[in-house]
Amino acid sequence: MPSVRTGLSCSVVRGRIYAIGGSYTTGLPGGSTQLKSVEEYNPETDTWTGKANLPTPREAPTSAVNDKIYVIGGSKGFVGLQYNSVSTVEEYDPATDTWTKKADMPTRRGRLSTSVVSGKIYAIGGSENNWDALATVEVYDPALNQWSSAPDMPTARSYFTTSVVKGKIYALGGTTSNRSIALTSAVEEFEPGSSGESSVGGAQPPRISIELSPSGLKITFTGTLQSADEVVGPWIDAPKTASPLETTTSAKAKFYRARQ
């Protein structure tokens, strides 16, 4: 790759890999420079080509929808000791080699992960201040250039990764707090529902909170609930209840903790 960098993100459009943004770090205090570099790799010819620069230099996740690449939020590094996260969303069109500003993400954050299901981009977790991890999940619809909210991830985390298998999003690993470098091996699965998101600023979707303490397992539901035919799976093996519950939005979340 022509540019030496870390913290970059890559997306694939029509068989070409686009390496976007990132930073160059000297290892010294204040020695990190956020990059705007965009370079295209052609695996068939094993060649690199420089492309139009990212308008907002930063480390940020990217996702591709309908042959366009979206750079979501991210970090512009530190200003002194202040972590400079952003809510900026920018769209890159490889066909025209041009960038377009899009609607900002509602929650400013970096160190998040993004995944695509049914043409929508799910922006998950991350950190606003680089110390405290977020459980926030927000959904971007490129066709409408609009954001909506989705149920929070059970484990707030940053510096993690997500992947999609058969329409379900899996969140893996990460850190739950950078104050104590609290790493996690938690793996959580989210299944977006047909109406599992609500407009930002509107009524909040139902939430499911599961806590494990010495006294036992505590499951807390908030929002409107109804009977359903599937049980929400906790982090540990637990007997099925006689009246399982599911949120009325059809958004389902199943959580698992990796065995040590």
One DSSP character per residue, 29-53 reads TT-EEE---EEEEETTTTEEEE-PP
**Residues 52 and 97 sit within 8 Å (Cβ to Cβ):** yes
**Residues 161 and 111 sit within 8 Å (Cβ to Cβ):** no
Phi, psi of 34 (to 5 degrees): -75, 140
Q: Which of 241, 201, 239 is nearest to 225 (CA)?
A: 241
pLDDT digits (tens, 9 = 90+) for 150-169: 999 999 999 999 999 999 99
Residues 6+ apart with CB under 8 A from 170: 162, 163, 164, 187, 188, 189, 190
| Domain annotation for the chain: domains and CATH numbers | 9-201 (2.120.10.80)
| Residues 102, 87: Cα–Cα separation, whole Å | 10
**Residues 119 and 143 sit within 8 Å (Cβ to Cβ):** yes
Query: How many Cα atoms sit within 13 Å of 49 on the Cβ side?
Result: 11
The token pair that represents 10 in the structure block: 């890559």
Q: Look at 30-34, 137-141, 198-202, 232-236 and tell me which has the smallest mean pLDDT.
A: 232-236
Query: Residues 31-42: what's their mean pLDDT?
Result: 91
| Residues 258, 168: Cα–Cα separation, whole Å | 18
**Residues 51 and 42 sit within 8 Å (Cβ to Cβ):** no
pLDDT greater than 90 at residue 245: no
Query: How high is the pLDDT of residue 32?
Result: 76
Local confidence band at 31 (pLDDT 50, 70, 90 cut-offs): low
The token pair that represents 223 in the structure block: 């929002």
Radius of gyration from C-alpha coordinates of the chain: 19
pLDDT greater than 70 at residue 204: no
Beta bridge partner(s), residue 124 = 113, 137
Phi, psi of 60 (to 5 degrees): -160, 150
E-strand stretches of 94-136: 98-102, 113-117, 120-124
Residue type, 39: E
Query: How high is the pLDDT of residue 29?
Result: 56
The token pair that represents 74 in the structure block: 């991210």
pLDDT greater than 80 at residue 172: yes
Q: Which of 180, 170, 150 is nearest to 247 (CA)?
A: 150
How much is the pTM? 0.76
**Residues 54 and 90 sit within 8 Å (Cβ to Cβ):** yes
